[in-house]
């Protein structure tokens, strides 16, 4: 899964930004953090949709249609 890696990157970004602001340096661009947060959100949504799609295929009440039986 890539989600934990992105979350770790977001935490590192926030720590770098906080340290830069505390020392009076120039902090990293906030757009990078926003992009990572939106990317994590998007990956979470896609992962959830794909997981639920696969579970729906193997549900106990799933009956495949056999066209040859007609």
| pTM confidence score | 0.68
Percentages helix, strand, coil for the chain (3-state, rounded to 5) are 75, 0, 25
- Give, for all 70 residues of the chain, the pLDDT tens digit: 688 999 999 999 999 999 999 999 999 999 999 999 999 999 999 988 888 776 666 666 656 667 665 5
CA–CA dist 70, 54 (Å, integer)? 28
- As given in the structure block, the two tokens for residue 69 are 């039986």
């Amino acid at each position: 899964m890539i989600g934990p890696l992105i979350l770790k990157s977001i935490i590192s970004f926030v720590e770098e930004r906080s340290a830069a602001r505390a020392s009076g340096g120039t902090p990293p661009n906030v757009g990078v953090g926003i992009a990572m947060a939106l990317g994590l959100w998007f990956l979470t949504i896609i992962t959830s949709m794909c997981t639920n799609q696969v579970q729906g295929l193997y549900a106990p009440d799933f009956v495949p249609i056999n066209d040859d039986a007609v």
